[in-house]
Amino acid sequence: MCSTMGLSLIPRRLLFFLGTFGICSGFVQENCINYELQFERVYSIPGDVAMLNSTLVSPDVFNFTTVPYNITWYDSKTGHEINNQTGRILVQEMTLWFLQTTLDDNGEYVTILRTPSRCFMQTTKLIVDLPVDGECGSPRKVYQALTKGFTDKVSCPLEDQIKKLESYNITPSLKWYKGCEPIEDETDRYTYWDKTKLRIDQVHSEDNGLYTCTLTFTLGGVRGSMSETINAWVKAEYTLTPQVHEPANEIIKTEIGSNFTKRCLVFVPCVGIPIVDIMWLVEDDFIFSTDPTDRIYISETRVWSQDEPVKGFWFEKLLMFSELKEKDFNVSYTCRVYSNRAHHEGYFILQPADPDILLPIGLTLCGVTVIFVSSVIIFYIFKADIVLWFRRAFPVFHPNKDDTMESCQKVVADVEDHLHEGAQYPPEDPVLSRIVHYISKKKMPADLPPSVVSSKSDFPRHLIPHETICTECSGQTVLSEPQFITATARIMTVTDVTESMYFFHSNYLCCRLAAKDLLLLLFAMIQTPLHLCIFVVSCCLHVPL
């Protein structure tokens, strides 16, 4: 056993070392991995609550989710294990609470974490200071800057303590003070914000000073509190949160094999020179090369100032590809900006460009247009042959095929035989003489009905020939049934012109001559012995006209 007198003579570090190896009764002799003294110190004042927290329960130390463990706290001054003391000390696994600290609580406290096969050790230091006379709050200050002319905030450093209490289902209350005067929520320019922050609207020079946040709660049956004091000063020079304008979290399409450049464009509202760092990343890997011989490289940062509408600085850094490869696509490229305010970022993703369909569509439309125009021209020139071919190829579309087509085919055959025998068009003597003789026999009646001469409205509208036999043809040549010619014919008489006439004709001759070379003589006769001769330039379509 180590005597109390011996403890006072042996340096604390040496005592801890000896206690670790079993020289003092408080420590069991173990070969633990030592994580030494934590950098972060815990500060308190007499009467306040102090929270010491071990960081050994971490995946960086061991797999705490699958490996069982237990934690023991030791006082390095005595080497004894620390247990719960009503109203004074509360041990909650990795957390050691001093519910009412005293000056004697100054010192280092050891955490030993044991698993079935290993153990780990860590030391945490508690510093208890007396308050400064005539000053409210903690004697240890945290320094924070406020930006003049802008809305800014003071942050309470007790965020970890609040989270720990909330994990126990304890809801603490937070109160702010400036100097010794309490600050009420939403009064003047102050607002309690986001649990641990005090927002100050339009910061003035008089907002310099000490701000204290006090956390009050009940733990282990004891009503306690802890405080932190912030020394805030107002500065004329400021740097606000960087704004990433490009890239704008976008998808960019481009061609494989092409070169490509994308800029990172950042604006920092500030007075004075801002300190920012701009980095390009491919997925999670930083790009540092500025050598153009590399396939992927970045440029140096270009900087320029701006006074209106907002004072600040622009920063530009380029990401360049000398040649895009397939592996460069569907990958996230991020521009990240670091500053003392926060870090912000924007990204883009490359994708292969869509096929250019405008040219094929244009060529297709041009082709369709050419085909359409050509078809119209061809149909206009060869419409007779096209119609005849269609009727021969698709006779099912012509319900009068048995009468009309057969008779037409017979007539066409007769005409072709006649033409093969030497017939010609236009006719010459004696054929022409016979035609003239036939026409000359058509006599106008001596007395015309007055209604015919005097009134167009009473003029017969349907002129249907009654002749069935060609009187001038050789043999008993039967004329075809009357065929409808037109419903818009005009007849000129000695007194007037009558329009909208329906004409029919009978014939026995068809030909295949072009329209410009064919003159058909069509004869029509009505009920009264009125004979009219109509000259029509037309093309015979191998059916009776």
- The pLDDT of 463-489, averaged and rounded, is 67
Query: 76-92 pLDDT, tens per residue?
Result: 999 999 999 999 999 99
Q: How far does CA 65 lie from the centroid of its chain? A: 40
pLDDT over 50 (residue 518)? no
Over pLDDT 70: what percentage of the chain? 68
Q: What is the mean pLDDT of residues 256-285?
A: 91
Query: Residue 127 pairs with which residues in a beta bridge?
Result: 43
- pLDDT tops 90 at residue 198: yes
Question: Residue for token digits 């037409």?
Answer: 408
- pLDDT value, residue 172: 94
More confident residue, 345 or 440: 345
The answer to whether residue 495 scores a pLDDT higher than 60 is: no
pLDDT digits (tens, 9 = 90+) for 88-112: 999 998 999 999 999 999 999 999 9
Place of tokens 């099912």: 396
pLDDT at 530: 34
Q: Strand pairing partners for 321? A: 260, 296
Q: Flag whether pLDDT at 404 surpasses 70.
A: no
Q: In which band, very low, low, confident or very high, does the pLDDT at 149 lie, cut at 50, 70 and 90?
A: confident
Is residue 214 pLDDT above 80, yes or no?
yes
Q: Regarding predicted confidence, which is higher, 537 or 253?
A: 253
Q: What is the pLDDT of residue 422?
A: 52
Give pLDDT, residue 12. Answer: 42
Residues 451-462, mean pLDDT to the nearest whole number: 56
Structure confidence at residue 489 (pLDDT):
66
Report how far apart, in Å, the C-alpha atoms of 226 and of each of 168, 175, 212, 229 are. 17, 11, 10, 10
Can you tell me the distance from the alpha carbon of 295 to that of 292, in angstroms, rounded to the nearest whole number? 7
What does the mean pLDDT of the chain come to?
Answer: 78
Report DSSP letters for 43-91, one per residue. Answer: EE-TTS-EEEE---SSTTT--TTTS--EEEEEETTT-PBP--BTTTEEE
Of 369-378, 488-497, 510-519, the range with the highest mean pLDDT is: 369-378
> Which of helix, strand or coil describes residue 429?
coil
pLDDT of residue 27: 53
Average pLDDT of the segment spanning 45-60? 94
> Strands 296-298 and 119-128: what pairing?
unpaired
Cα gap 269→312, rounded to integer Å: 4
pLDDT of 182 reads 94
Task: Check residue 540 and give its pLDDT.
Answer: 31
pLDDT interval class at 521 (50, 70, 90): very low
